Every structure is written in C-alpha cells, then in structure tokens.
Amino acid sequence: MTQTMIVQSFGFFIAIGLSPFFVGLIQTTKARIQGRHGPSVWQGYYVLLKYWKKETTLPENSSLIFVIAPIVSISVMLLIMLFIPWGKQLPGVLAGDFIMVFFLLALERFWTALAGLDTSGTFGGLGASRILTIGIGLEPMLFAVFGLCFFLTGNTHFAQISPLWLRQAPHLLAWFLAAGGFALTILLEIGRLPIDNPDTHLELTMMHEATQLEYNGRLFAFSHFASMCKVTAMLAIGWVWFGPTLSSQWWTLLLHLFELGVSSILVGVVESFTIKMRFFRIPYYVSAVIGMGLLAVVITAF
Amino acid sequence: MMVIAYLFLLGLPIALFARQPLRSKLSLLCYSLLLLGIALIALYHPSTMMVHGALFALNPLRAWFLLLLSIVAVAVSWYRFGYQDHDDKATAFWLPLFVMSMTGVLMANTVWVFITFWELMSITSFFLVIVHHDREHVLPSGYVYLVMSQISAMAIIGGLFLLVSQVHSADLSVIALKAHAMNPGMKNWVSALLFIGFSMKSGVIPFHIWLPRAHPIAPTPVSSLMSGGMIKLGVFGLIQFLLLDVGVQQVFWAVLFLLVGAVTALLGVLYALMEKDLKRLLAFSSIENIGILFLGLGLMAVGIVLHRPTLEVTGMIATLFHAFNHALFKSQLFMIAGAVQQHTGTLDAERLGGLLRTMPGMGIAFIGGSMAISGLPPFNGFLSEWLTFHGLLSLMEHFGAFWMIVSFAVILMLAMTGALACLCFVNASGVIFLGVPRASRSNHPIGKAMTLPVIGLLFVCLAIGIDPNWLLSPLFAVFPQKPTLAVSSFFPSSLMVMSIVLLLLLTFFLWLSRFWTMKKVPNWQCGRVVHEQRQMSFTAFTKSVRTSLAIIYRPHRHLERTGTQAAYFPEQLIYRGGVRSIWEKYLYRPTYRLVWRLSGLTSILQAGSIQLYLIYMLGTIGLFLLFVH
Amino acid sequence: MMTEISLYDAHDPWVTINAMHRQQGDELLALTGFRDQKIKAHWLLADGSIAREQVRCSSDRFMTLTTILPEVAWDEREIYDLFGYTPIAHPDLRPLLRTQRWPDDFYPLRAAMPDRPLWRDGEPDQAMKVVQGEGIVIMKVGPTHAGIIESGHFVFSVMGENILCLDAHLFQKHRGIEALLQGKSFPAIQPMIARLCGSDSVSHQYNLLQSIEQVTDRHVSEVVQYRRILVAESERILSHLNDLAQIPAGVGFAVAHQKGLALKELWQRGMAVIFGHRFLFDAMYGEVFTQEDKLHFLSLITSFEALWAKWVKLTEKNVAFHDRMRGVGKVTRQDAKQLGAVGVARRATGEKSDMRKYMPLYQVVDFTVATALGGDVEARFQVRLLEVESSLSILRQTLARMGDPSKEEPFVVPSDLTGETVTFSESPHGLNVHVIQWLDGKIDRYHIRSGSYRNWPVLAKAVEGNVVADFPLINKSFELCYSCTDR
Amino acid sequence: MDKKMKSLQLRHVDAGSCNACEQELTALLGKDYDVSRYGIEFVASPRHADALIVTGSVSDTMKPALVRVFEAVSTPKGLIVIGDCALGCGVDRRAYASHGGVQHVVQPDLSVAGCPPTPQEIVKRLQEYMDKHTTV
C-alpha cells in the first residue's frame, strides 16, 4: 500500500514535470522531419517561466469567468493525472474510473468555451463553437472506446483496465480496434492534426487557440501548461490501458515514462504527414471511430 | 398523525381566502415549508410517519417525490416575493391549488383520490398557463396543453380502471399486492394505457408538443413548478403503477423505455439547441432530461424483466436521483429566466448579453445551473448521470449480445446528448450573461427575494454533488424486499475525493494567479475598436451543428440581394434561415392540425366558467365508471 | 437613390463607346483620372493596339461605367476619393481609401504636389457592407493579422462557419505613392517604382522602362531584351514559389510548406548572385549580363529543377492535399469576366488570357498559356505549378538563344520627356498597367493599376458561401499583394 | 537572473511595407535560417508576445492600429523595426499618407536596416537583442 502510494505520487509529479518536455519532443520531431533544427526540447519550460513572470491583464469586457477558465483547465488536468495509475495500482481513495475522467474533460471544455465567449470577440466565440461542436463527436468517441474497454475487462476503474491485453488474447482484434480508436480519439482531444493545427497562427482557422487570444501572463501560463498536461495525460491513459505492464511498480512507472516519450515522437511523425481536414468532414472521422467501437463490440459479442 | 397527512389540504383555504398579495405569498411559503417538513419526516423517520389511511398514505417513494416537489415549491414561493412580471389574482388563486393537487396525487391511496387530484392538477395548471390569455399565442398553446393533458388523463384513467376491475379494489395498497398476479394479456393493456398516459404527461417524444408550448407562456413560478415538479409525476406514476405494482414481463417494455428515453434525450437537446427563447430552450431541455429519466426506468424494467434486483435498484435510484436533481436545477434555471425577463423585458437571446454585470448573482447561478444540468462535476447532475452511465455499462456486461448492443448504442447516444447539452448551455449562459449587450435596453433591478432562492438551490446542488449520501440513504427503504444496498455500493469514495480535490485545486490556483492584482486593459480586436455585433450570436453558435446534422434539422437559408445591380452591388443583403424538422412536417403538423380541430370542437362546449368545467370533469369520470363496470 | 438612377444615361457617348469595347471583347487596361478633369479609359484591342477613350467631367461629375462594367467599380470609387469627381449613378459609392481621418476637403490628386494633411483623430473606419438578418455575426479581421501577412481589414458577415459576404477594406497601407511620384524625374522615381511591391517589382520596373522607351522611341539591343525576359521570368518563378509554399501551410501540410520555402530560398540566393538582389529590386534597370552570369543561371536552374521535381511529386501524390483544395473558393467564368479577373485567377477558370502573348518582348520565345478548369484553389495551384515549369523552359530557351553580351551604349534620358504612355505587362499577379504622363522630363500623372488591384473584388466574390476556416486557404491561392493595390 | 533571453515571442505588424520585409520574415521560419532553434516564435496575439516586429513606414490608416497593438503587448515589451521604410529612410517616407517611419509613432528598441534586410542580418540582430535583454 505504501509503495503504491509512493510510486503514484512519484509518477504524478514526474509526469506533470515532464509534460513540457513531451510537447517539446513533438515539436522537435516535427521540425526534424521538415528538415529544420527546431527549438530545444526544453523550450516549453522557458516559455512557461517567461509567461509566469510577465504582466497579466484582463480585457475590459471580461468577467470572473475569464480568470477561472484557465484555472479550471489546469486543475482538471492535474486531477486526471492524479487518477492515472502510474505504477500498476492505485491507492484505494483514488480508484477513479473513466466516466469521471470523461466528465472532467467535459468540464474543461465547458469552461474553455465559456471563456471564449466571455471576451466578446468573434474569434473566441467561433473557437468556443468549434470546440463544443467537435465535443459532440468526441464524447461518443470516448465512450465507444471506454465502453469497449469496460466490456473487455468488466471494470470501469483505471487500475483494473490496465492489464487488459494480457487477459484478453481471444479478443485481440477488438483490442486493436479499441487501441486504434483511442489513438484517433487522442489526436482529436489534444487538438492535433488532422482536426486542429497547433502550429497555425491564423485567427480564422484556430480552434483551441482562438479562445486563448486574450490571455497573457500567469493565466496564459496556466492554460498553456494545462494543454501540455492534457497531451501527457491522454497519451498516458492510452498506454496504461493498451500497453504492457512490468512486474514491479517502479519498473512500470519507468516504462510508462519511456512510452510517453516514444508516443510523443509518434504524434510528431503522424502530424508531419497529415493534412488538416475540412471542418465539416470531421463527422466522418468521428463515425469511423464509433464504427470501430461498434464493430469491436459485435466481434466480442458473438 | 393522520392530521399531518391531511394538512396538505390547507392549500384550498389559502387559495380561497388569501386574496391580498402579500398574505397570499406568505401563506403559500408557509404551506410549502409545511409540505417540506412532512416530506422530510416521512423520508427520514418513516416509522413515526407511516400514515396509512383509507384515502391518503405516504411511503418512501412518494415522500421522495414530495420532497423534490416541496423544495421546488419553497423556492418558488420565496421567489414570488420579488417576482412582479405575471403576478395577479388568478395566480394567487390557482397556485396553491396546483401545489395541493400535486401533493394529493402523491399522497393518494385510492384510485378515486388519485384521479381526482390528477384532474385537478391538469385543470389548475391549465388555468395557470393561460394567466396571460390576453397575450398572443397564449390561448392556442393553452388549448394544446389542455387537450394533451386530457388525452393523457383519459389513458391513465382507462388504465387504472382496468386495473381496478381486475384487482377488484380501488385501494392502492391492495393493488400493490395483487396487481402482479394479473393475467399477462390484461397486464399489457394496462401497461400500454398507463405508459401512454404517464409518458404524455412527462412530455417524452413524440408526445412532447404541449411542453415547449405551455412552459414558456406560463408565469415563471408556474413553469418552474411544472418543469421541476409536475412532469416528474408522470415518472412517479410509471414507477409506482407500471413498474412496481403491475411489473412488466416482456423484454419489449424494457426496450421501449430505453428507446423512447434515448430518442427523447437526444432529440430534446437537439431541439433545445435551436431555441433562442430562453424559456423554450429550458422546456426542450426538460424533455431531454425526461429522456434520461426514461433510460433509468428502462434499466429498472430490464432488471424486473430479467429478475436482476441490482439492476432494478440501480435503474430506480438513478431515475429518482436524477429526477430530484433535475427538479432542483431546472426550476432554478426557470427562475433565472423569469428574472432575466423581468430585468430586461425580453427572453430573446439575440437581444441579450453581458447580464453578468447587471445581475451577478443570477449570472453565477445560471452558470452553476448550466454546469449541473450538463452533468459536470462537482455538481449533482454529474452524479446522477454517472450512475445512469454505470447502470447502462453494467447492462452491457452479463446479459448477452442483444443487451450489449442495445446498451452500447444507448450509451453512445447518451454521451452525445451530454455533449450537446454542454454546447446548449455554454451557448445560453455565454450569450446571455457574458460579453456585452447586443441591443440597448433599460434594466430593472432584481430584488434579493428572487436571487436568494436561486442561489440557495445552487448550493443544494453543490452540496449533493459533493456528498450524496445524506440525501440518498433513506431511498433504500423503498425496497424492503430487496437485498440491502448501501449508497457506497453506488458511489465510490473516489468521486467525493475528486470533488473535494477539485475545489481545493481551484482555490489554490486562484490564489496563485493573484487575479486581484490584474488590471483591465482594452480588448484586443486586431487593432480596431469593439463592435457589439462582432460577438458570436446565439444562432451562429449552433450553425455547425445545424449543418452537420442537416439530416435531422433540414436547415434552409436564403440570402436575398436587393437593388438593380444585385449580382455585384446589392443595396441590401438580407439573410433568412431556420430549421425545418421532418417531425414537424410529417408528424407534428398533422397532429397539431388534429389537435387544433379537436380544441376547436371543445370550444363549442366551453362557456368559460369553472363550474361548467367541473361538471364536464365529473361527467367524464361518471362515463368511465359506467363503462368499466 | 431613385433620382440618381434616373440620372444614369445609357446613351451617354462615354458609356456607349466603352460598352462597345466590352462587346468586342477588348481588355480594359486602366481607367485613369487626371487633374484637368479628364478621365481616360484605355482598351487593349484584339490586334494588340491600344484605344484611348476619354470623357471630361463637367462640374466634377461623370457617368458611371460600373453598371455596364462591374470591374471598374473600385477605379471609380478611387477617382471619387482622390479627385472628388463623382461617378453619377454608381451603385456602391462608399469611400474606398478615404477614411474618417481624412480632412473633408482633402483630395490629394487635385494638387500637383499635395502636402501632408492634418489628420483628424478617430478610427480609420469606413462604411461596411454587411448582411442583415437575425444572428448574423459581423466578423472584423485585421488590419493586423496573426501571421506574417500584409495589412488589410476584412469585414465578414458570417452565420456560424459560413461566410455570407466579405467586404474587403483594403488600402490600410495607402501611403500616396502616385502623388509622391508627381513632379519627379526618371532617375528619382526608379527606386520608388522598384519598391512598389515586393513580389511584382520587376513588372513595375518593366512598365516604367517601356514608358521611357515609348516616349523616346528607343530600341534596346537583343541581349538586353533577352535579359529582361530572364529577369521577368525569374520573378514569376520567385513569386509563384512563394504562393506555392504558402498554400500547403494553409492546410497544415508543413513538410511541403518547408520544402517550398527552401526552394524559394535557393532561388532567391541565386537571384542575389546573378542580379544583385534577393527580390530583384532595380534588376530590370540593369543592362549587363556576362557569360559568368549565364553559367550561374544555368547551374541554378539545374539544381533548382532537381529539387522542384521532388517537391511536385510530394504534393501531387498527396491525395488528401488535393482533395482539401478541390471545390474551395470557386470563381465562375462569368464572375471572372465581369469582375475583370486577371492572371492566375482568370486562367484558373479555363480562359487563355496571358498578356505575355501581347507583349513584344515575348515574341521571341515559345510557351503555352497554362490554364486549368474549375476556378477553385486546386486550379489556381495547378496553374502556378504549370507556370513555374513554363517559365523554366522560357529561361532555358532564352539562355540558349542569348548571344554574347555586347557593350551597350549608356542611355541618357532626355530632360524634356513629354507625352502620355500606357504600358502593360503580365506580372506574376496578372495584368499590370501603368498610365504615365510626362511633362518636361517630370511625371505629371502616374497611375498604377496592378494585377492584385483587379483581383481583390474577385476574391471577395469567391469567398462567399465557403466556410470561415477556408478563407486563409482561398486567400493564399490568390496570394494578392496589398502594397501595389494600396500604393 | 543575469541570463540571456531563451524565448522570444514576436508579433508582426505591417505598417505599410512593400511585402519584401514580410517575405524575409517568413524566410526566417524556413530551414535555412530557422529562428525557432533560438527560441524565437511568431505568435498570433500581441498578448502572447514579448516584442512587436514592425515593417513599413506607417501609413496613416495603420497608425492607430500600430499604437493599439503595441499597447496590447504586456510588459516587459520591446519594439523591433525591420527595414529601411520602418527606420524612416524608405522611398515613400515623404508621401502624404505616410508618417515616415516608426519612430514618429513609437520609439523602437532595435532597428534592422536594409531594403529589405537579409535574413542573416535579421537573425543576427535578433540574437543580439536576446542577449542584451535579460528577462527569461
């Protein structure tokens, strides 16, 4: 029990601390594929530190919502990190389940979108509308994968879902469909190509960034950090559920961190060779994942 | 003890004698508090309160509904102290009667009493809905409501009479014991009639057409009570009669509940998205939530059909809990809508904006209520939706391929509903309360009497969201025959841990942000100045949904260009757009025409006096009695 | 409004003669206002000659041509703003470049040398054309943009993601170059013309040179002619490379974007070595081209072509990229004609309209006019791709035919230049026209009507009905410059 | 804290240039110059920026916008001007609607001369700027 506790707290803090590094890995990978040197993998830390020290201002028409939204984002992300089993197990009080994570992600979306409307600008409102419209596809996608995981393991709890692939050899195809579906869902959730382009700096095409245009200083540092943590958290959930575990909790933690690095590089590679979709084609993407979920359910059901 | 049970009849004298406004408001408040007291005692100390008279009786299930009803009634009657927009003598007369009749429905212990109060409830609510009969659209909508509620009442009366004729007793406690043993054919007839009747009253699709028409035109306290309380009585009737007493036997009923629930939830929220009138939006959102309640009922039905007590209890607790939560936040949201109307004189979201600055309490409460209704932690809506999801997931597990696919599909629809509700309420709260006003107007201040009950309800929502145990523990007494279940088996401690840690983290980061030192600077607008029409509009916010789900909405749009050189140099560009629903075209239109014709027929019979209506009512009941015997 | 329309006289000789030119399928080169209350229209006839029509504005009024020639709407508005001559019955006479900050009686081109006025305080806003209707959002983008882009102010009327109408308020960068040129001599204006626009510099330089040569009747040697082709085609490649590199960026195709930028950098470095400037500023004026330059150029083309082939393959085999461009930002042939689209935008609707076919300069080389069907982003991308290739072939032809450079007599511009010239060329952005009036060796009036100027209204039309998120992509496919439009 | 700047977010404003300076700034993002390796990035909002990078001689219409963008950058902030026009020695500095250089509107912290300045020059000067300013 104590060991679980210690591993969990270690994993929690290290994963949070390394989040900017993982995002840096994505950036570096993309730059290298484009033939550039690219920024240092530690660039995220410099940027965060700098925003932390800069002046923070509020736009005239905004309200308290504007202040709270980034705080909700960062709190939610830390909370999700807390409920991910970094070793193999979770301490009893943290036996969180995926429905909870699902609603926490919705909470973050709710507040980000609200803050977009709060600044009374068109871009913020447009970004908010886009985020939530995508959410309509995203949430069934998450449940298509979650539901499948539940079905394969009979449990909604993170720590029980983890050794899934070892037990479920007969459902290998279902496992592939679930893992693939989740990979596609992650790309959507963390705002990467082919849905959102984190490198675009044009007001008209942005989604998540459009709601952040008025932020600076500490509040921007919060939401910037939250989006980094989101990348780590979503990738980690993927590995916890679909990746292998080792006999010792410490080794498992190390393995997860290694996997996070690898998957960051993978995200960078995928992003380099993908083209942003048309906005109204996103339903096809969504239905593909939901279709995968349904197919997997049908396979396992019969 | 019987005396306490009869206290609810106090509503009648209040209605008749308290014509003076302040006294009427005060007495209604006291009356509601009394009902709340009765409900609390009945729920938490059932042994001291178990009244089992010939005519009236209370059990934990009824006490639960009484509790939610009386909480809404307390908030509403408190709210009435500040509410001026619609208050007049008619409301003062009908409102206590309305509350009393709903209480009567819950406490009734014989079919006769139940039907009497049910009809009284329909009639009083009809008069409350048409309080503003001088306004446009009020009377036609009121008639739609009247006709629909009468059709529903006919079905219920028919079902109950059939039941009575089979069991040979009108006593509900006898029915509860004997109804199970009815012959299956008769059971199905009874079930069908009751299902149609009660679900019509709840407003599930496709019986929902009265709901978005009746709720918005009624004065706010009435729409709060109708949406928070009255439509839940349909759910109560289904649980009490159809599921607990009669008990469904075929898989068909369970699937029907799940199907109707999923379709209602999804379409309800989809239609809510398109409403820019706040009250109509809330009315459609009620339909959505009734859909979620029906999913719980469906789970319960599956549990009954397949003899799985755990599933049955899960479904029922999910339904009861969500009904309670929805009563809280929906009546709260309706009250805020009323305050918005009193404050600005309009409910048209396209003309509102920036209200958080002029009515901060209401604004915060609306955002909180929106979070609750979207099922977001740490509010109560999260827990009941969590439980519904859990129930559906457990249905997926051990019941074979058929149930697995059904529940998987329902889960996906529910997840989509949640996301749509989130979009809908971000849109409503963002467009109405945030940003800057979209049209110039003068604001009337809102009194504390309106703000406090709304904030109070929000706090109850938050308290339940953080720890539901204190509320839910007495519910398990509903199942004396079932294996004892504890709340902890439903809600893991991690949920509470999460809510608390979330609040702690929020406070910590709020402190860390040092927001009190931040200064305000002009908005960044690409180097130009602010222009109020550049804010996102309510209609535009949901445009992508309209486009993506064109198959459901059938949107149409037309851009008219005027002038002699219209092709390249139009003098004016005028946009007209909207949605054209296939339901509207192929189902509602004909139904509406039929209903309208029917209501045209009834108007021949109507002379408008109350006595005449009561005579009609008695005549109808008499006819039914003749028919059944 | 009605009284104004009744003033419109369709039988006005000014209207009928211009209508006749349009009927014959002539190409309008420019509509130019002059200080002496004259307005002239220059038409390019099918045989390559130029017809001049003119009208006198009695009491500062003239009959509008916009009703029969929608493409001159902006020209007439500009004349109204800068001279104060009112086009009668113009259907959309909002200020085009005049803002609320301009003093009321300030008409810069009425004076030979206008002074800097005392600007008023306030916003430089203009009347907007917006859509009315419930829930319409007026989205104002710019003048400063999020990327590294020139400044322009765009007023979108949107319904959610859908653009209903775009009102482009350009001229944010209006500096008053035409007035600045007045009263200056040829050597003084040379650098100014070269710096009108970073991506059409050569074409502007060529037009100025042509004007001088027309007035003085000078004939340059064949080598210089060939050199001019080299410079002009080098610029076309440079400009198209810039656009081709930007289009993938608009859809998140970062690899193609980066490789495109690298191609452009390679080309620019070559230009700096051969012509002395990365953007070919002042390069057209030079007349020296050595054997060494020729070798440099050939090796540049060879190394460029190797990379270019790879890049073309990269974009062509990416089906998703092409799918992303297809059907977006469509311009119909009818709109292109009516609104006077030129250059790539016009050719992408399938029309073989290339001014190089009328330019005497190009009579010595063979090339086919690149066209594509569809009028969408993909078609414009395709046309640019083909044009880079045809330019490469022109470059190779020219280098092969070019004789040994001979010593050219240094040309002294006479100090008493007088006369009016209309010169045109096919810039990378389309038909570029300069109307120049010389008086005693000085500029009396200099009117620039660049390719981008004519294409902006086409872009605004093409955007209608598309989604907001596609605007940057459509904009990049036109890649119109602001600088020589705003002047 | 006497370390050199490790990240520099820039917001670009074209106040009336000819598009050549813009193209050179775009070239900075390409692999040949790649300013991202020094931690330099072009951002979408002045709120996210540390410094404004201005080109062009400031036309009258752009003047209010330029002032407003600079105000929107949060402190500590800098102003970098690129190209001869912005420095006040461009060909159009005497035109009637031109204010003849950025210094007549806001005082610059760093000026990079050239028509347009070469990317190498810009990179060099930006690095100097980062070395000189000691904020993170």
pLDDT at residue D122, as a whole number: 92
Residue of A23, A32, A201 to mutate, interface with D, max D Cβ within 10 Å: A201
Residues in chain C closer than 8 A to D61 (CB atoms): 99, 101, 124, 143, 171-174
C43 membership: H or E segment, kind and range: strand C38-44
* Residues present in chain D in total: 136
Q: Find out whether B100 and B63 touch, Cβ atoms under 8 Å.
A: no
Q: Alpha-carbon distance B186 to B207, whole Å?
A: 24
Task: Tell me the mean pLDDT in the region C77-105.
Answer: 87
pLDDT at residue B2, as a whole number: 57
A153: nearest Cα among A205, A114, A97, A94: A97
CB contact under 8 A, C148 and D12: yes
Amino acid at A264: S
Q: Alpha-carbon distance B168 to B174, whole Å?
A: 9
D115 contact C CB<8A: yes
Residue with tokens 């109509």: B280
What residues contact C317, with CB distance under 8 A and at least 6 apart? none
pLDDT at residue C3, as a whole number: 39
170-209 in A: which are within 8 Å (CB) of D? Answer: 201-203, 206, 209
Q: What tokens does B8 get?
A: 């609810």
**Tell me, what DSSP letter sits at residue B575?**
E
**Integer CA distances (angstroms), B615 to B150, B157, B606, C229, in order:** 15, 17, 11, 101
Q: Find out whether B368 and B450 touch, Cβ atoms under 8 Å.
A: no
Q: Buried b vs exposed e over D86-99: b needs ≥16 C-beta within 10 Å?
A: bbbebbbbebbbbb
Give the full edge-to-edge strand order of the sheet including B572-579: B555-562, B572-579, C131-132
CB contact under 8 A, B528 and C143: yes
Q: Is C84 left (phi over 0), alpha (psi -120 to 50) or beta?
A: left
Tell me which residues of chain B have a pLDDT lower than 50: 1
Q: Find out whether B213 and B145 touch, Cβ atoms under 8 Å.
A: yes
Quickly list DSSP for B95-143: HHHHHHHHHHHHHB-BHHHHHHHHHHHHHHHHHHHGGGTTSTTHHHHHH
Q: Find out whether A66 and B352 touch, Cβ atoms under 8 Å.
A: no
Amino acid at B419: A
Between residues C15 and B48, the one the model is more confident about: C15
Residue of B517, B520, B523, B524 to mutate, interface with D, max D Cβ within 10 Å: B524
User: From the centroid of its chain, how far is CA B334?
Assistant: 10
pLDDT at residue C1, as a whole number: 35
pLDDT at residue C5, as a whole number: 43
Residues in chain C closer than 8 A to B350 (CB atoms): 134-135
List the chains bordering chain C where 3 or more Cβ pairs fall under 8 Å.
A, B, D
Please name the residue of chain A whose CA is at the shortest distance from the CA of residue D8. Answer: A47
pLDDT tens digit sequence for D75-132: 888 899 998 888 888 888 888 888 888 888 888 888 898 888 999 999 999 988 888 8
The helix/strand/coil state of C445 is: strand
Amino acid at D85: C
Q: Shortest Cα distance from D2 to chain C (angstroms)?
A: 32
Q: Alpha-carbon distance C44 to C28, whole Å?
A: 6
Residue of C150, C173, C193, C259 to mutate, interface with D, max D Cβ within 10 Å: C173
Sheet strands (E) in C45-128: 50-56, 61-63, 86-88
CB contact under 8 A, B527 and D45: no
B351 contact A CB<8A: no
B510 contact A CB<8A: yes
Structural domains of chain D ordered from first start:
8-131 (3.40.50.12280)
413-442 in B: which are within 8 Å (CB) of A? Answer: 413, 415-416, 418-420, 422-423, 426-427, 429-431, 434-436
Name the β-bridge partners of C448.
Answer: C434
List the chains bordering chain D where 3 or more Cβ pairs fall under 8 Å.
A, B, C
Residues in chain B closer than 8 A to C137 (CB atoms): 533-537, 540
pLDDT at residue B485, as a whole number: 59
D61 contact C CB<8A: yes
Task: Give me the phi and psi of C50, to 5 degrees please.
Answer: -115, 130
B88 membership: H or E segment, kind and range: none
Residue of D96, D102, D121, D122 to mutate, interface with C, max C Cβ within 10 Å: D96
Per the prediction, chain C carries an average pLDDT of 86
Q: Alpha-carbon distance C311 to C306, whole Å?
A: 9
- State yes or no: cis peptide before A170, omega within 30 of 0: no
D23: nearest Cα among D134, D116, D122, D130: D116
Please name the residue of chain D whose CA is at the shortest distance from the CA of residue A212. Answer: D45
Residues in chain A closer than 8 A to D6 (CB atoms): 43, 46, 50
Amino acid at C393: S
What residues contact C20, with CB distance under 8 A and at least 6 apart? none
CB contact under 8 A, D96 and C114: yes
Q: Alpha-carbon distance B515 to A63, whole Å?
A: 11
- Compute the CA torsion angle C219, C224, C225, C226 (nearest 10 deg): 160
A201: nearest Cα among D45, B532, C9: D45
Task: Tell me the mean pLDDT in the region C208-220.
Answer: 86
Residue with tokens 């943590």: A229
Residues in chain C closer than 8 A to B576 (CB atoms): 133
List the chains bordering chain A where 3 or more Cβ pairs fall under 8 Å.
B, C, D
CB contact under 8 A, C138 and B537: no
Task: Give me the phi and psi of B573, to 5 degrees please.
Answer: -120, 120
Q: What tokens does C181 get?
A: 């040129």
Judged by average pLDDT, the poorest of B398-402, C203-207, D20-24 is B398-402
Name the β-bridge partners of C422.
Answer: C435
Q: Alpha-carbon distance D81 to C317, whole Å?
A: 41
pLDDT at residue B419, as a whole number: 92
What residues contact B218, with CB distance under 8 A and at least 6 apart? B128, B129, B131, B226
Q: What tokens does C192 get?
A: 């100014």
pLDDT at residue B26, as a whole number: 83
CB contact under 8 A, B526 and C144: yes
pLDDT tens digit sequence for C439-463: 888 888 999 998 888 899 899 888 9
**Integer CA distances (angstroms), B311 to B201, B307, B526, in order:** 26, 9, 57
| CB nearest to C255's CB, from A33, A123, A279 | A33
| CB nearest to A147's CB, from B396, B429, B509 | B396
C137 membership: H or E segment, kind and range: strand C137-141
CB contact under 8 A, A156 and B518: no
Please name the residue of chain B whose CA is at the shortest distance from the CA of residue D12. Answer: B526
Tell me which residues of chain A have a pLDDT lower than 70: 1, 161-170, 302
Name the β-bridge partners of D13.
Answer: D54
Q: Alpha-carbon distance B211 to B196, whole Å?
A: 15
Give the full edge-to-edge strand order of the sheet including C27-33: C27-33, C38-44, C50-56
The helix/strand/coil state of A65 is: helix
3-state helix/strand/coil string of B489-503:
HCCCHHHHHHHHHHH
**Tell me, what DSSP letter sits at residue C270?**
H
37-56 in D: which are within 8 Å (CB) of B? Answer: 45-47
Start-to-end C-alpha separation, chain C: 32
Residues in A whose CB is inside 8 Å of some CB of C read 30, 33-36, 122-123, 125-126, 129-130, 193-194, 197, 199-205, 271-280
pLDDT tens digit sequence for B466-498: 888 888 877 776 665 555 555 556 777 788 888
Q: Shortest Cα distance from A188 to chain B (angstroms)?
A: 15
C65: nearest Cα among C44, C83, C79: C79
CB contact under 8 A, A193 and C318: no
Q: Shortest Cα distance from B506 to chain D (angstroms)?
A: 24
Please name the residue of chain A whose CA is at the shortest distance from the CA of residue D38. Answer: A39
Amino acid at B353: G
Q: Shortest Cα distance from A42 to chain C (angstroms)?
A: 22
Q: What tokens does B26 get?
A: 């005060």
B248 membership: H or E segment, kind and range: none
Judged by average pLDDT, the poorest of B370-379, C6-15, C16-25, C296-305 is C6-15
pLDDT at residue C288, as a whole number: 77
Pairing mode, strands A57-59 and D40-42: unpaired
Angle at the Cα of D80 (from D78 to D82), degrees rounded to 5?
175
Q: Is D33 left (phi over 0), alpha (psi -120 to 50) or beta?
A: alpha
Quickly list DSSP for B512-549: HHTGGG-EEEPPP-TTS---GGGSPPHHHHTHHHHHHT
**Tell me, what DSSP letter sits at residue B560?**
E
Please name the residue of chain D whose CA is at the shortest distance from the CA of residue C175. Answer: D97
Q: Alpha-carbon distance A166 to A99, whole Å?
A: 23
**Tell me, what DSSP letter sits at residue D53?**
E
